[in-house]
Each structure stands twice: as C-alpha cells, then as structure tokens.
Chain A
Amino acid sequence: MTDTVERKSPAESISRVVVRFAGDSGDGMQLTGDRFTSSSAIFGNDLSTLPDYPAEIRAPAGTVNGVSSFQVHISDHDITTPGDAPNVLIVMNPAALMADIGRLEQGGLLIVNRDSFVERDLTKVGYLTNPLEDGSLSNYRVVEVPMTSLTIQATVPLGVKNRDAERSKNFFALGMISWLFSRPREPTWEWIESKFRDELIRSANTAAFNAGYHFGETTELFDHAYQVESANMRAGEYTNISGNIALAWGLIAAGQLAELPVFLGSYPITPASDILHELSKNKHFGVRTVQAEDEIAAAGMALGAAFAGHLGITTTSGPGVALKSETISLAVSLELPMLLIDIQRGGPSTGLPTKTEAADLNIAMFGRHAEAPLPIVAAYSPSHCFHAAIEAARIALKYKTPVILLSDGYIANGSEPWLLPDVDTLPDIRVPFTTEFNHIAPDGSAEFWPYLRDAETLARPWAIPGTPGLMHRVGGLEKQDGSGDIDYTPENHERMVHLRAAKIAGIAKDIPQVTIVGDDDADICILGWGSTWAAIDAAVQRSRRRGMKVAWVHLTHLSPLPANLGEVLKRFPKVIVPELNLGQLCRIVRAEFLVDARPISKVQGLPFTAVELETALDNATGPGWATDFTMGASR
C-alpha cells in the first residue's frame, strides 16, 4: 500500500485543531473518534477528548435524539480541554448536522455525508429544504462527500453484502480525516487487524479506511492537508488514558501499594461501569469483583470485605450514591476503611445518564443520616483519577473511614496523554493489622478493645477475622469509647459524635495545603474542584495573557478542606467558583469562611468551555459584581 499519488501541495502546519465527529448512534462515531485520537496520541500530539452520546443504546435511527458525537482537540502544545468550538465537523446524516452545526466555528470546515441528505432523512428531522442546497450553510466551508456509496464501492468487490457494506463508512470518514490531518495510517491498520476476528469485516474496514484516505489525497475537494506537529511534551513514556481506566488502575495500584487484596462490589450504572469492567479484567492482581444484585448490596459487600481485611470498594453514579447512603453511615460507625467512588452525571434521578455534571458534592458531603462526616477526594483530570484513587485509599486505610472519591462523566470518558508515573515513586500506603491485645482489664488480664484509638490519627485498630484472641463485635448501635461495648449513655454518645468528627477534621493536617496558581496580588480568585480544572486552566492562561491578574486555587480534597484554604481565600476581595451545579462548593466556602464567593454555574450536561470562564472572569471584574449574585457563565 504505497502512496503513489503525489500530494497536491505540502501540508499546512497548524498548531491546534478541534475535530468533531457526529453521526447516528449506530454509525460508530465513538470508535472513529477514539481511533483518530489514538493515532494522534501515537504521533505525539497533546490532546483532550469529549465523547458525547445519548442514553439510548440505539435511539431511533436518523433522529436528533440518536446523534452520537466525539470531539477531540489535538495540539502541538500543552492543552487541557477538548476545545470550545470545533474547527472541523464531520456529519454522517442530517440529524447530526442539525444537532451539532451550532457548535462549528464560523468559517469552519464542514464535511458532510451527501448520501444521507435525501428527502427521507431530511424530513425525519424536520428539514423542509436541503441545507446543502438552500444556502443556510454559507458561513461554513462545506465539503460534500458521498461517503456511503464510496464505501460500498470499496467494499462490495471484497464480497461484502450491499447491506453490510455501508457499515464501514465510519472507517471511510476516519481515512479521509487521517489524510486531512496527516495522521500515520499504520496504527489504524494494526488496530483493525487486532480488533476484528472476522476476516471479511477486517478487510472491508481496511478497504474503507484506505479508500477514504486516498479520496482525501486525490480529490479536488480539499486544497491541501494540515499538519499538527507533535507537542513539545516532557520526555518520557506516554499512554492515552481515560479517567475510568486511570481510576481502575489507581485502585489496582492502591491494592499493591497497601499490600491488600482489592474487592469491588458494584452494580452496573452509567458512566461508572467501565471501572467494574476494567477491574474484572485484572483478576491476576488478586482483584475480586462481584456484580451485586443492587447498589445497596454492592456497598454491603465492600464493607464486609473491608471487615475481612480487604481494600473494599464500591463504584457508582448519583442514584447509586443515594442507595448506598445507609451502608456508608454504617461504615462511618464501624470505622472501617472503604471507598465509594461516584462518577457523577446529570440528575436528579436518572437525569442525563451519559452527560456530565458535578452536582453530587452535597450528597457526598451531607447525604447521610445524623452526624456522619467522611473524607472526600475529587479527581480533576483523566490521568489524575489514578492518583486520586491512591490518595482516597491512603486516607481510608490510615484513618479507618469510608472515603468518597468524586469523578464525573467528562473526565471518566474523556482521555488525554499521560506521562506514566515511575511506579517506584508511588506512596507506601500500608497499614498494619492489629494482632495483639491493646488493653489490660481490671483483673490484670490482657484484652482487645476495638475502639481504643490511635492518639495521633484517632483511628481505631483493624483486627481482622482469623486473628487469634482479638474476636470482637462491631455494629451500628452506639459503642462505648474504647471497649466498643454497646453504650447508650448521653455523655458517651456525645463523646463519640465529637470523636468521629475530630478524626475526619484532623485529616486536614495530613493533606496538602492549597497553593495559588497565577497572581498572588490579584483582586479575584477562581476556586475550582474536579473536572473544571481543564477549562479554568485555559481561561486563566488566556485572561492573564490579556493582562488580567487572576489567582486560581484548585481543590482535590473537599472534606476536610485544606487547612489554609480560608486564610488564602480571604486575601481576595472577590472569589468565583465555577461548578457544574448551582453553587455547592460556593455555599460551603461562604459558610465556612465568610468570604464573598459567587457561583459560576453550568448545568447543561457539558463541561465548561474556556471562553465561558474567560467571560465569567471578565464579568466578575466588571460592574456586574455589585448587582448580580450568580455570575452564571451560561447566561
């Protein structure tokens, strides 16, 4: 497969491009985007992705509800977001055009599968006239390609049935875009070889891919190809990682670092299920996974495993957090190490199962009956999920407490290049099991007190079944401080409530203090947590380039809050808090520190764009601050 045709003109070098693939749920757009991402990663670009797909597995074909999109931002420099407006939009049908055309930048390149712009498909989504003909797309550079028929022509000679032939059209699109952006073809060839068992499907996809590539090269439709040079990234070995895979690997690593077997109890729920899948694939690490009968059982199994001496974990999304609440409260009372991982999505209730939101901070912080504080860790990027999982496990094991780890659909499914960490530098998070008596009874005999606390951490001992002599019972009833015997006395209960709170509050001494990114002497501080990191990073960089002074503090620990957070925030007259909710962290810092923090809200099932936060910064420094409490970015 040598390239026999000379390029019309050399590829134009550009520093970054945002490409969005959009089609029907059945068109394979996620796969196409993922392959384009992988070959870009291997080429050495920095990148960030945003998969955007419907909750229905197969929504009615050709409808706007069934549109599945994948956006990828590739760059020759360090980037953190999947880009605001795409520069290139590939649409496979009229529904995809209708759903996504509004996102394309003015003057952007629109590549259309012309074969689908026929009356039946147009009327299905309510186009009265063909947008390819009525002039409505005059603000874009439109390239019409008969992708379906070209794919059929390329594959039918191989023996593929007409009916099946068009299914390879996503590979045609991938080939065309691969040429347009000078991507190497070898990674995709290799991937097709390894992915498809059926020889006919393999050759059809390869043929469609090559046909698309050659079409781009030979056709007059494109003036020339583009080249995004490899990014000047730190030297080292990289992999392309999504947040859910990073999180699963972080959990496996945590088990290795703690020298504890990993036990996952989980019930399938979008967008968390990939963690269950990935851990189930890695049984050779001694990882036990049980797909439980429900969310409650999943949490119960993890807690039981923790009692038995494993690193007990349960993974879920918002509705599952609600169901697990009672079990987490029991874990608070039993003071056993356990992880609850919440991959947040749009809610309430089933809400937007495949879209992102970060509105579970309240339930993580307060969603248990009675006084039941626990530590909360939040991941801020796909690769950070790896380290956040280890940190959550470290805290859980050291303080014998359930820990909630928050991620969200955006970083869970989004991906980025990850400079692999040196495994030898990962922290040692081992904690010893208790194997000896720890108390002398009045009669002089040695005994075991399950609630005799460590003076420094206030954690109780972890003596697991099988340990001679240390048999003990724990339960949800209030326990006597020290002995752990049932105790309903008023003074003891008050003491225990305060001890449990003090234990969690004390973790503030054991987590990093916040540091300010940007200008210490700014008037405005932007306070972030979780996946807003990428958009804040880009917005802060752009605003500072324009001469604005901005300070940025990003939290990875939300409970307890870092010890210096209040003092830092009080240095700034204005604090804005961008969140994919209506201001949950904002309310907490106002209550905790009496600072004039204002919420920047977005609840569209989508992450912030950098432009939105740049605008929010502009608004906050303008006269609006005095009159508008909610500086909403999306209004």
Chain B
Amino acid sequence: MDIQAMHIPNGFIDGSVSAAFAAIAFAAITFCALRARRDLDERLVPMAGLVAAFIFAVQMLNFWVLPGVSGHLLGGALAALLVGPWVGALCVTVVLAVQALVIADGGVTALGLNVFNMAVLGTAVGYLVITALLRVRVPLFATAVIASVVSVLVAALGFVLEYALGGGGGVSVGAMFAAMSGSHLLIGLGEGLITAMTVTAVARTRPDLVYALRRRPVESSSDGHVAEGAPHVA
C-alpha cells in the first residue's frame, strides 16, 4: 500500500512565484495568529490540536473520484466549522508543515503555495460560506457539504492561479483549470460528506464544541467585521 504524496511538490511552480506566495501566506497566517488569540481559551488549545491531528489522519484516506484519480479531504471547511476561521487556518497550516517537514508530502519550498491554497483560501472561503448559509437557516449537514465543495474548488483555483503565474509543462492554463476544477468538484463532494458527518456527530454530543453553532450569527454587526477581516485578501 503506497500512499501518494498529495500536495504541491518542489519544482512545479517557479521559485520567485513560490517565494511571493510564501510571503503572502506568512502575512495571512500571522494575522490569523493575532486574531486566534481572542478565540483560544484553556479548553480550545487541546481541541485545536485534536482538529489538526484529525485532519492529518483523514488526509491519509484517499478516496476514489474518477478512473485512476483519487482525492482526499483538505480540511479548511471542517476546521472553520469546529474551531473558527482564525484557529482553523492555523490548524491546517500545522498539518501542512508537519507533512512537508516530516513526511516529505508537499515541497518545503512549495509550503507557502500549499498554505495559501488550503489553509488561507480554503478556510476563509469555507467560513464565509458557513456564516452565510447558517444565517439563512440552512441545516448544519447541508451547510457543511456546500462549504466543503466551495472551499475545495477555490483552493484548487488557487493552484491554477499559481500555475498560470509560475508553472510550465505540457498543458495550457485553460486545460489545467478544466482538469483541476473537474476532479476537485468531486473531491469537494467527498470532503463534504466526511465534514458533514464529523461535524453533526460532534454537534449531537457536544454542540458547545462547534464554533459555527456557538457563534450563531445573530448580531449582524459582529458578523460583518468577521467577514471583513477574513484572510482571503490576496
């Protein structure tokens, strides 16, 4: 049983573009860390560690999406649902850092690209969709599925952008867009089912541990500033 390396490796994207995205990712994650301080209490510290460990585990579970093509959960929407966008983006970053530095999954010089796509874009977009859907009373299960699909698609588009700026090889940007969005629509659906089952299981036993339910967006003023401050500015 050979588990595939699954994130962007070294060499796919030019060094200068990789460095630029590393700088953007570093700034965004630093901002998340500052905002996360407000959300992190004594209880959330081990829970956030658990969310990171759980995402690491589920990322090993590649599932079938098309003949000869698999996919795995990225985790941005799950993290945003359970621990919120700021701590959530840090959780996904911890997973990507351990994978690049210890497992050799994802290039070390490509870490900024991977963090930008999955931790920053994936979590921010997932959270924006979650708050929008919960506000109009979409059930939690459906919210988790839709947020996952959108989150994964946008993360995949982040890679297409990086490919357009600093990629190379056989195919045009349009063909890369088609290949990435097609497979990641299906990966997003798979991720959506895993995320929805996980979050509803937690919500049934410990609803107080689901950030998205704890912070019901009733007060529109506080909700507005969360969306405004989301780290999706590129």
A and B from one complex? no
| A residues at B contact (CB < 8 Å) | none
